[in-house]
Structure 1
Amino acid sequence: MLKGIPPIISPDLMKILLEMGHGDEIVLADGNFPAANCAKRLIRADGHNIPELLNAILQLFPLDQYQEKPTALMEVVPGDPINPVIWDEFQTIVENHNGDFQGFEMMERLSFYERAKKAYAIIATSEKSLYANIILKKGVI
């Protein structure tokens, strides 16, 4: 154990966060996301949901201040009746850690998958909410 490190941050996740450089992206993926198929580097966070991981990561992880929207979400597929209320929770968490929050970049589903394949790493969670995937772009301190 280390002081100041949220216990939900595993050693493997800490290593990834430290390795990432400015402009690198990390995906927090819900339980339905094809994480193993898309990931260059896969971190398992089984048993955890995305809001608790997002809050812990953003305690350590600077978002890219040179990009208007350094966070991205997967849009709801047209015609899908889902209302992703988890997005409100994400917004609150990001705002708490980044006072200059300008909203999320919204991405079409297949475009999101293609961007995720280029991400530095994907964290596979047990999040049950649909459309709960989020991309974070790393900034500088």
Structure 2
Amino acid sequence: MLRHKLIHPQISSILASAGHHSAILIADGNYPAASKRGPRAELISLNLMPGVPTCNQVLEAILSACPIEEIQTMETETEGPYALDGDPPVWDDYRKTIQSEGLDLELKPVDKWKFYEAVSTNDHVLTIQTADQQRYANILLHVGVRMD
């Protein structure tokens, strides 16, 4: 029986085989997961119904199971129909979750097109597609090393 929060067998298996620098994308419901991923990345669709589950719920499960050394978000647009003034509300949720896991990590916003490039590398091992409907909820986690 597992002691951490993550109980999904396929996700657990992929994380167990991931190594330092492997990338894990937690994608919102609008992310083009079928076409924007690494050549060896597995896609797991958890999108049950609109809003279930959220990216933050998946983040909580992943952080309980795997050492993470860097977290990137998709930078918000400042013009156009998807523009926001300031950080998206979901980023505050991420910060709370990161802090509650006892991690000292900052979110690193990355330009949308550079974010897609970062996801399209050989290091990308997993995309978890959620049904999160919040704008700019995509989050890219980079696996660290186990120190204990």
TM-score of the aligned structures, taking structure 2 as reference length:
0.83
Gaps of 5+ in 1: 65-69
1:5 Cα offset (Å): 4.1
Counterpart of 2:35 in 1: which secondary structure? helix
Which residue number corresponds to residue 67 of structure 1? none
Report if aligned partners of 2:28, 2:55 keep a CA contact under 8 Å in 1. Answer: yes
Runs of 4+ in 1 over 3 A off after TM superposition: none
Is residue 44 from structure 1 mapped to residue 45 from structure 2 by the alignment?
yes
The SS at the match of 1:17 is helix
Q: Give the structure 1 partner of residue 104 of structure 2.
A: 100
User: Where is the helix percentage greater, Structure 1 or Structure 2?
Assistant: 1
Deviations 1:68-104 (A, max 9, x none): xx00000111214335100000011112224322x21
3-state SS of 2:65 partner: coil
CA distance in 2 between partners of 1:126 and 1:94 (Å): 21
Structure 1 CA distance for aligned equivalents of residues 90 and 27 of structure 2: 13
| Cα displacement (A) at 1:121 | 1.4
The aligned counterpart of 1:135 is 140
User: Which residue type is aligned with residue 120 of structure 2?
Assistant: K
Name the CA distance, whole Å, in 2 between partners of 1:18 and 1:81: 37
- Could you tell me which residue of structure 1 aligns to residue 67 of structure 2? 62
Q: How does 1:70-81 map to 2 (within 5 A)?
A: 70-79=70-79, 80-81=82-83
Question: Which of 112, 115, 124 is the matching residue for 1:112?
Answer: 115
> What's the secondary structure of 2:133's corresponding residue?
coil
Contact 1:73 1:132 in 2 (8 A): yes
CA contact (8 A) 1:9 1:57 kept: no
The superposition leaves residues 36-70 of structure 1 with CA deviations (integer Å, 9 ceiling, x where unpaired) of 11233111112311111111110111112xxxxx0
Q: Does structure 1 residue 53 correspond to structure 2 residue 58?
A: yes
Which amino acid in structure 2 is aligned with residue 138 of structure 1? V
Residues in 1 aligned to 2:31 and 2:7: alpha-carbon distance in whole angstroms: 20
Give how far 1:9 is off: 3.6
Which secondary structure state, in structure 2, belongs to the residue aligned with residue 129 of structure 1? coil
- Tell me, yes or no, if the aligned pair for 1:26 and 1:121 is still in contact at 8 Å: yes
Percent identity among equivalent residues?
29
CA RMSD of aligned residues (A): 1.5
**Pick from 22, 28, 41: which aligns with 1:30?**
28
Q: TM-score with structure 1 length normalisation?
A: 0.86
Q: State whether residues 27 and 133 of structure 1, in contact with CA within 8 Å, keep that contact through their aligned partners in structure 2.
A: yes
**Equivalent position SS for 1:132:** coil
